[in-house]
Structure 1
Amino acid sequence: MSSLGLQATGAALAAIDRHVPALVDDRVASRLDGKDHTLWGPAAEEEASQRLGWMDLFEDSRELVPQIEGLRAELAAEGISRVVLAGMGGSSLAPEVIAATVGCPLTVLDSTDPEMVGNVLAAGVADTVLVVSSKSGSTVETDSQRRVFEQAFNDAGLDAASRIVVVTDPGSPLEQSAREAGYRRVFTADPTVGGRYSALTAFGLVPTGLAGVDIAALLDDAEETREVLATDDPGNPGLQLGAAMAGTDPLRNKLVFSDEDSGLVGFGGWAEQLIAESTGKDGTGVLPVVVDAGDPETLSAADDLLQIRLVADPEDREAPDANDASDADSVPPLRSEHAVEVFGSLGAQLLLWEFATAVAGRILGINPFDQPDVEAAKTAARGLLDATPKSKRPDTVIGTVEVTGPDDVVNGPAGSPDDLGQVLAAVAQLVPAHGYLAVQAYLDRVGYPELEVLRAALATLSGRPVTFGWGPRFLHSTGQYHKGGTPEGVFLQVTADSDLDLDIPGRPFTFGQLLAAQAAGDASVLREHGRPVVRLHLTERTDGIGQLLRAAHGTQGSDGA
């Protein structure tokens, strides 16, 4: 059974009171449920008319359930129990949340970092099926992952075609090549569902169903919620959440996502892509900032922050024991009065946030279904791969870390910074009064999760919200907001040399070269948009990470601006 609800305070509650009555009068809920493509204005009509399939996908999705379950049984009978998903953006983020929340093992390969790719390969392929997931069928990261796995299957003496399952849009280049190659199964999804809205389509269901998730129950959960969201009623949680996200006055355009025992594992990362890529355009939008409970942003009184707390269903919460000191100690300190608390089961929340994001797009006056700035970084990366440019000299070197960036960062009191702590402090000072800092780490996210401590350390130093993205996957997520959203970001890239590199079969470049081109390409596009970019390049990966972590820990006692 689905559960769903929200509670708003302060500016969020005022936004709901201000906007929901008009949304109800305009029948936005029932019109969205009926796939009315005129909801976002004339400029968005063509795109919207092709992107509303997520509102009535349940019949098509249910037809997939026996096919997926049958394939899973076939694979299990052959001793194939490990599911590896090669996909980027919406093709990987939703499956990762679904599998992790349910507790089913799914290896998500959404990187071109040679160490991460190499480690996934090193775990062995004898018991592995590869799910290749790409809407366009031409995503360079996914194609590269498919190529290296296909070779690994062949090198192990296995029939590669029998170990590869494809999910793509009908008519894509991938569908054609997969059928020609005789891959194990090709699933095509509804092309009227955009990637970031595809959690409950084949893109979300195939990899998770093969991993053991009860996808029929997930669909039941979401479909119950659709009935609630389709109602033109002031109590509609989708209308309320969309109004709170986009209707504060003045706009609180940083949504601080913290999880307080919601039971949804990694949900903020999926919502981050959905919201940032949908709303970050035309110089406006709302930026999700995913943090841990108690991080600096959750305690901030800044007037451009709105707290979004993912919480447990009230019926599932235990009442605190007044005589238990540990319960008393666990009560959070100062809490912002401008907040939304959202609870709900997994399927319910997936549909809720998709619905609310579409509503937010209407309030902001933008098209929530396009991503006009995503292609720019891809084009720049392709150009760099074709040109194979010589690497530029860094502005300064500190230990095993090369630093490139604006003069305020690379020139300290003595002409250059003495240590990385100085650099981090200088980066923090670049963030404007209502700006944000984005840390972008082009490394193995599974191998070096400790790097995420940079986020909270820099939030403390700057007194401003800080996002953390793993490259290149954030290029398919917050990358749209960075270039098309409110022009107030500062960007800290972390890149690294690696002792390991991997060839990409049939390509004239390696994984390492591809990753380097993606980082350099994105940095060049950001600079063209007038965004400050600082690059920290670790010439020795292990030593450089240690140096960076020591610098971050050394700043923890500093006061933010």
Structure 2
Amino acid sequence: MDGCFGALSAYALVPAALCGADVRRLLDQAEALVPSLLLAYDNPGLVLGTALGTGPANGRDRLLIADDGSGPAGLDRWVEQLVAESTGKGGGGVVPVVVEGPAAPGFGATRDVHRLVLGAPAEGAGLAVSGPLGALFLLWEYAAAVACRVIGVSPFDRPAVREAEEALSGLLRGAEDGTPPVVIGREPVLVDGEVEVHATGDMLEGAKDLRDVFDAFSHAAPSDGYIAVMAYLDTADDTAGLRPPLARRAAHDRDAQVAFGLAPRLLHSTGQVYKDGPRTGLFLQITGAVTADVDVPGRPYSLGTLQLAQAFADLRALRSRGLTVVRLHLRDRAAGLARLEAALGG
């Protein structure tokens, strides 16, 4: 099985082995956990899965995930994808929000959320999970399946992910006969430096600059909801400074959470729960102009056009559900990101 539930399958282990990972050790670690997962009591998978699965019914549909730095790098994002993909459908599920650590903005002051630390228990965190990597893979897959059983959804169904893929295919379909895809955007509602602001509705009515945009966003977030920043940029772009200041604003104004993700990865992870999960999210999409583009071999379009088409497909899917999305387009990526950080820091 592929996806997050295939972390210990050949689908994941073969490339891991080719990269030099000790696959036998991972499997031995997972096997050592199996007896604990067969217990009727003191079963860590049942405990974790039940805590996650009963959260939405008790008004706790947001899961804050903080890595204390003691475990494998990147595990927080894998957990985020597993929880979002498996539980987020039917208008419910668990919205995972990865933060920078237990001391990150928004982690300690929020009500009605599950706080989880990957590592040693931390003050204010109700859940802490640690152990060897192979065992953690198995534990989380087991717990996610239990949570989905409690919520009443299939852990393997990903309807919103398929929808986004189909929408992208529709935008690119004309390229099969040699015609470049056309992605048409609207005129911006305002421009601040190198940043265009695109929005529908009246939420930004009266906004004059990016500070006003961020103020409107943080005020509009429901107190039991979240803001999702979806960056259709590159890993080389310096986006690390965007989440914390926006999280401080949202926590101060509305006690809401702020999630951050890079596309296209988020389409196959949090994209599922954003579209089909709890309808309590506001979405801030960031796109950027491409200066050094690369053609896609055998296709009449570039990687930059493909990236923008993915963003527009995602935008349409969110807005078709009546969800609020504001798109920030960076005419110059470096200058635009600097302008965003300046506006958030004011």
Fold shared, TM-score > 0.5 on shorter chain: yes
Partner of 2:161: 374
Return the alpha-carbon distance in structure 2 between the equivalents of residues 553 and 204 of structure 1.
41
Post-superposition shift, 1:460? 1.2
Task: Name the SS for the 2:27 alignment partner.
Answer: helix
Give the letter for the 2:40 counterpart: D
> In 2, are the aligned partners of 1:526 and 1:533 still within 8 Å (CA)?
yes
Return the alpha-carbon distance in structure 2 between the equivalents of residues 512 and 299 of structure 1.
39
Partner of 1:317: none
Post-superposition shift, 1:540? 1.1
Partner of 1:444: 234
1:296 aligns with 2:100: no
Partner of 2:51: 244
Return the alpha-carbon distance in structure 2 between the equivalents of residues 521 and 227 of structure 1.
45
Task: Name the SS for the 2:93 alignment partner.
Answer: coil
1:222 aligns with 2:26: no
Task: Name the SS for the 1:270 alignment partner.
Answer: helix
258-267 or 380-389, which moves further after superposition? 380-389
For residue 400 of structure 1, the aligned residue among 155, 178, 194 is 194
Post-superposition shift, 1:408? 4.5
Post-superposition shift, 1:269? 0.1
Partner of 1:206: 14
Q: Please, what TM-score do these two structures have when normalized by structure 2?
A: 0.92
- How do 1:349-388 residues align onto structure 2 when only pairs under 5 Å count? 349-385=136-172, 386=174, 388=182
Post-superposition shift, 1:377? 1.5
234-243 or 422-431, which moves further after superposition? 422-431
Partner of 2:71: 263
> Structure 1 residues 253 and 297, CA, compared in 2 at 3 Å: closer, same or farther?
same
> Structure 1 residues 301 and 466, CA, compared in 2 at 3 Å: closer, same or farther?
closer
For residue 306 of structure 2, the aligned residue among 503, 514, 531 is 514
1:488 aligns with 2:280: yes
Return the alpha-carbon distance in structure 1 between the equivalents of residues 100 and 182 of structure 2.
40
Task: Name the SS for the 1:493 alignment partner.
Answer: strand
Post-superposition shift, 1:531? 0.6
Return the alpha-carbon distance in structure 1 between the equivalents of residues 2 and 10 of structure 2.
12
Q: How well do the aligned residues superpose, as a CA RMSD in angstroms?
A: 1.7
Return the alpha-carbon distance in structure 2 between the equivalents of residues 364 and 380 of structure 1.
28
Partner of 1:280: 88
Task: Name the SS for the 2:41 alignment partner.
Answer: coil
Structure 2: gaps of 5 or more residues? 175-180
Return the alpha-carbon distance in structure 2 between the equivalents of residues 284 and 390 of structure 1.
33
Post-superposition shift, 1:505? 0.8
Post-superposition shift, 1:473? 0.9
> In 1, are the aligned partners of 2:194 and 2:335 still within 8 Å (CA)?
yes
1:307 aligns with 2:115: yes
> In 1, are the aligned partners of 2:183 and 2:312 still within 8 Å (CA)?
no
Return the alpha-carbon distance in structure 2 between the equivalents of residues 456 and 246 of structure 1.
28
Post-superposition shift, 1:407? 4.7
> In 1, are the aligned partners of 2:2 and 2:11 still within 8 Å (CA)?
no
1:326-381 Cα deviation digits (max 9, x unpaired): xxxxxx7xx43x61111111011010000000000111111111111111122222
> In 2, are the aligned partners of 1:277 and 1:481 still within 8 Å (CA)?
yes
Percent of pairs identical after alignment? 44
For residue 503 of structure 1, the aligned residue among 288, 295, 306 is 295
Return the alpha-carbon distance in structure 2 between the equivalents of residues 266 and 206 of structure 1.
19
Return the alpha-carbon distance in structure 2 between the equivalents of residues 390 and 459 of structure 1.
31
The number of residue pairs the alignment matches comes to: 333
Return the alpha-carbon distance in structure 2 between the equivalents of residues 500 and 456 of structure 1.
29
Task: Name the SS for the 1:490 alignment partner.
Answer: strand
Partner of 2:318: 526
- How do 1:455-494 residues align onto structure 2 when only pairs under 5 Å count? 455-463=243-251, 464-494=256-286
Return the alpha-carbon distance in structure 2 between the equivalents of residues 196 and 389 of structure 1.
32
Partner of 2:127: 340
> Structure 1 residues 466 and 276, CA, compared in 2 at 3 Å: closer, same or farther?
same
For residue 345 of structure 2, the aligned residue among 545, 549, 553 is 553
Post-superposition shift, 1:390? 3.1
Return the alpha-carbon distance in structure 2 between the equivalents of residues 517 and 410 of structure 1.
25
For residue 454 of structure 1, the aligned residue among 242, 248, 253 is 242
Give the letter for the 1:499 counterpart: T
Return the alpha-carbon distance in structure 1 between the equivalents of residues 327 and 183 of structure 2.
17
Return the alpha-carbon distance in structure 1 between the equivalents of residues 26 and 84 of structure 2.
25
Return the alpha-carbon distance in structure 1 between the equivalents of residues 184 and 146 of structure 2.
47
Task: Name the SS for the 1:550 alignment partner.
Answer: helix
> In 2, are the aligned partners of 1:404 and 1:410 still within 8 Å (CA)?
no
Structure 1: gaps of 5 or more residues? 1-192, 315-331, 555-561
Return the alpha-carbon distance in structure 2 between the equivalents of residues 379 and 260 of structure 1.
38
1:369-422 Cα deviation digits (max 9, x unpaired): 11111111222222223352433211111111110114555432xxx41x3222
